[in-house]
Structure formats: structure tokens, C-alpha cells
Amino acid sequence: MITTTTRQHTLRDHLPGRHTVRAASSVEHQAMLASRLTVRDKWLLALLHEHRVLTSFQIQAAAFPSGRSARQRVLDLYLWRAVSRFQPFQQLGSAPMHYVLGPAGAAVLAAEHGLEVKELGYRHDRAMAIAHNQRLAHTVGVNDFFTSLIARTRHTTADETVTAWWSESRCSRHFGDLVIPDGYGRWRTRHREVEWFLEFDTGTESLTKVGHKLAGYARLAESTGIATPLLVWLPTTRREAGARTALARVHTGLDDPRAVPVATAAADLLDPAAPHPSPAEAVWLPLTSARASRAGTRYTLADLADAWPGLTPPAEPGTEDGEGSDAAAASPYRLPPPSPIPPRATPNRIARGEH
């Protein structure tokens, strides 16, 4: 305001109550965190390292019973510099707060696996750079897909759960010479399990480019001998109709179309007023299912295997999918994938105000 004068040095101070970067890297700070971080906190840090950025809504959906409890705990993690945050510009309304791994959190994560922070491939400026990345909306969208499945697992009585969630970067390490999926996941019910690669479409790519991705998945199936379903998630049913035409044009020209099972779904098929809308619902339309093509039958995620009767059930993790070394132990620049399901919450014995 014109009635007060702001001095330049006050703009450079850290937020009241928040530790400086240097203090967050100190032995004393790490000792303090040892008495305050819960198992769920450390799980969240690992999730942020794997998937780069999570919004406040996604964190609540994945791990907390309410928005209030999520905000309180994540505020603690922010003040301790275990996480960092930013809020993207949005023309209408306010965007949710976005969280990335902070310097103190990276130090904890590295120490847990017997590594140096640099061996995580972590740098705070790189972590925060996602705020200006042109793929921010895409990354957040992919994470929305999976955290909504986690929320369904946590809040429904059905015997179903997410058993795997790999990030794009992990997929790139394993399959990048042939194709780079936006994610890899597994969904298990009492009687079956289905795995898939995800292509998350935000409507910015040409439909021709979407269709041409099938060639890479065909090469992957040929090299591994495993037919892994490809799920294509689109923003609207109108976009989905165009994508199915483009996909079918390429799919029918593959040497072995059955080696690349494809299904599509659209976000506007979900009811936003439902308690926990998710891609587990009956929104999936297989590309090669005669019954689905004729009657417009859409499958749940668990029932998708019925659309491809000859599909081989997924192997146990670490046996055939190349994940054995990642799952067994950490190595420089390669941590094991965190479990998609959070550990049970533990009571926090330290009051929030005691820093």
C-alpha cells in the first residue's frame, strides 16, 4: 500500500516458521525429521519422487480421510522443507496447490536407501521446474487417472486394488527404445488381475499421431512376446470417436493385431457428482471386441480381460516384466517403485506447532 514502504530485503526472507534450504540440509534438521515423519509421510515423499508432482486434491484422494487432515499434514511437510509447492496461474478461479519433493525430503529418501542425494538424480531447481513445463497439465492428468483408482480402492467395499503404478520415466527406462507409455498399471480383484499401458490424451495431439503410436506397442509386443493391453484415455466422447477411427486404421494394418489389445474411454463418461469417480467404472470400449462394436458395450477395468479371451494373465512382478532389479533394492538413480496404496496412518505424537 502507498501508506507503507516495503524494503527489498524483506522480500528475500523465507516464510515465517519455514526452515531455510541450508538449515533443511543440516544434521540437526534430519535428526528432527526422524522423530516427526510417519511411514505415510515417507511413502508420500517416494510417490512425489516417482511421479514428479501431485496436487492437494490428489494427495487427499490417495492418502488422507479429509481435505482438512491433508492440508494440515502437508503444511507440516512444507514448513520442514520435505516438500515444496507452487500454484499455477489459472484464468478462472484458483488452481489447487501443486507439490513436489523438497530438499529435506530428498535427503530422507536418499538416506533410507543408503544413497547420496545426488544419486537420486534430484535437484531442487529441476523439481520446481515442472511448474513451467508445457507438459504440466498432462503429468497432472496422468496422476489424476491413477490417484482416482487409489481413492476407489480406499473408499469402496469391493475387493479391488491398484497393485502397480509406474511413472513415464520408469516406463522410459524399460521400454523407451521402442515406446514410451504415459504410465503402467495393474488392477486386481478377487478373481482376476489386468495390466495395461496408458496413453493419456489431453486433446492437443493430432489423432493421426495418436494412432501411429500403435506401431511402437506392436514392436514391444513382438520383442517381449507379451500382449499388454493399451488403454487410451480421452477428454470427451467426441474426441474418443475420432481417436477410435484413427486407431482402427492403424490397428487393422498391424502384422498381428491381437498382440496389441486396445480399449478407449472418455473422461466425460464419468459422473463428477459421484463420491469417487474413477477409470475402474464401465467406461472402456475395446477396439477389437465384436460384441462391444455391435452393441456399444462398455467394460469395467476389471472385466476388460473378457473382451480379449486369448489374453495371457499378467505374470507376477519381477518374473518377466524386467522389474526384478528395481523391486529388489535401490541402486543409484533407480529406486524401487513405491506401492500405490499408502500405509496405514500412524498417530502423530508431535504437536503441529512444535518445530
Residues 77 and 152 in one domain: no
Residues 141 and 65 in one domain: no
Task: Give the start-end residues of each E strand in the chain.
Answer: 54-55, 83-86, 98-101, 160-166, 183-189, 193-200, 230-234, 262-266, 285-286
User: Of the ranges 10-19, 33-42, 132-141, 248-257, which one carries the lowest mean pLDDT score?
Assistant: 10-19
- CB-based contacts of 252-260 (< 8 A; 24+ apart in sequence): 254/214, 254/215, 254/218, 255/218, 255/222, 256/218, 256/221, 256/222, 257/288, 258/227, 258/288, 258/308, 258/310, 259/218, 259/221, 259/222, 259/227, 260/214, 260/217, 260/218, 260/221, 260/227, 260/230
Tell me the percentage of the chain whose pLDDT exceeds 90: 74
Residues 94 and 149 in one domain: no
Residues 113 and 143 in one domain: no
pLDDT at 19: 64
pLDDT in tens, 174-192: 999 999 999 999 999 988 8
Residues 181 and 210 in one domain: yes
The model's pTM: 0.88
pLDDT in tens, 35-85: 999 999 999 999 999 999 999 999 999 999 999 999 999 999 999 999 999
pLDDT in tens, 247-293: 999 999 999 999 999 999 999 999 999 989 999 999 999 997 444 44
User: How far, in Å, CA of 304 to CA of 96, rounded?
Assistant: 33
pLDDT at 197 over 70: yes
User: How far, in Å, CA of 26 to CA of 4, rounded?
Assistant: 37
- CB-based contacts of 10-19 (< 8 A; 24+ apart in sequence): 15/79, 17/79, 17/355, 18/78, 18/79, 18/81, 19/79, 19/80, 19/81, 19/104, 19/355
Residues 121 and 141 in one domain: no
pLDDT in tens, 167-176: 999 999 999 9
Residues 91 and 233 in one domain: no
Residues 189 and 52 in one domain: no
- Give a yes or no: residue 83 inside a domain: yes
Residues 165 and 283 in one domain: yes
Residues 120 and 142 in one domain: no
Average pLDDT over the chain reads 87
Count of structural domains, the chain: 2
Structure confidence at residue 107 as a pLDDT band (50, 70, 90):
very high
pLDDT at 321 over 70: no
Cell output for 262: 486396445
Residues 58 and 145 in one domain: no
Residues 129 and 150 in one domain: no
Structure confidence at residue 9 as a pLDDT band (50, 70, 90):
very low
Residue 121 is part of a domain; what is its CATH number? Answer: 1.10.10.10
Q: Which domain holds residue 180?
A: 134-314+338-343
Tell me the percentage of the chain whose pLDDT exceeds 70: 84
